[in-house]
Chains A and B, each alone.
Chain A
Amino acid sequence: EAQVTQNPRYLITVTGKKLTVTCSQNMNHEYMSWYRQDPGLGLRQIYYSMNVEVTDKGDVPEGYKVSRKEKRNFPLILESPSPNQTSLYFCASSFNGPVETQYFGPGTRLLVL
């Protein structure tokens, strides 16, 4: 089944403790992206990747890192999480860039205490 998977789905952590949220897609998509979703603000892009080893900042990249060493994986790294990073995170992918339909993962709900 074609899908985007994220792990973990739920995470509670404390301020400053490094964490990684994994994202994987099995559709051979070149474009992958991370979003955060907060009430009243909608989806905001954190980082995106046009292809392997090519990443770029979205609208809200502060406090986040990403890497794209393989085509299928696009992990999101929070080196020192803070409470303002408490949010719902979505990974998405599309075949050849944002002009095409993006397929979203199920989401990761993060709470930073």
Chain B
Amino acid sequence: KNQVEQSPQSLIILEGKNCTLQCNYTVSPFSNLRWYKQDTGRGPVSLTIMTFSENTKSNGRYTATLDADTKQSSLHITASQLSDSASYICVVTPAYGNKLVFGAGTILRVKS
């Protein structure tokens, strides 16, 4: 069964610190892996997208990595800001079919 598991479930860090969120998946084969950011009360917004052949993708202070051999991805946030407080969702697109596989998300809170 296709699954995406994210860890930790929640995380609190101080403003200015770095953090790394994890995503483990069983989807195989897959087309791409995305990280979405979802602010409280709003719809998710795409942060990064990586195809199965890419290892890393950056978007400002956000850097996603992908290891297709171990079926793991991570999202690294550098020099966190209060506005980074949100839920981060890992989504994998299977190579076949029309259904995405969503992780449950990691809730990040950045404190001043």
A residues within 8 Å of B by Cβ?
A: 4, 40-45, 48, 50, 56, 58-59, 90, 92, 97-99, 101-102, 104-107
Q: Point out the residues of chain B lying under 8 angstroms from A105, CB to CB.
A: 43
Contact B98 A97 (CB under 8 A): yes
User: Is there contact, CB below 8 Å, between B43 and A106?
Assistant: yes
CB distance A99 to B104 under 8 Å? no
A33–chain B nearest beta-carbon distance, Å: 8
Question: In the bound complex, do residue A101 and residue B104 qualify as a contact, i.e. CB atoms below 8 Å apart?
Answer: no
A selection of 28 A-B contacts at a CB cut-off of 8 Å is A4-B43, A40-B104, A41-B104, A42-B102, A43-B89, A43-B102, A45-B99, A48-B98, A50-B98, A56-B98, A58-B99, A59-B99, A90-B43, A92-B43, A97-B98, A98-B98, A98-B99, A98-B100, A99-B93, A101-B46, A101-B49, A102-B46, A104-B44, A104-B45, A106-B42, A106-B43, A107-B41, A107-B43
Asked, given contacts A90-B43, A101-B46, A104-B43, whether A45 binds B89 with beta carbons under 8 Å apart, the answer is no
Which residues of chain B (54-112) have a CB below 8 Å from chain A?
89, 93, 98-100, 102-105
- Size category of the B interface is 10 to 19
A42 touches B104 (CB 8 A): yes
Chain A residues within 8 Å of B34, by CB: 101
- What residues of A have a CB within 8 angstroms of the CB of B105 in the complex? 42
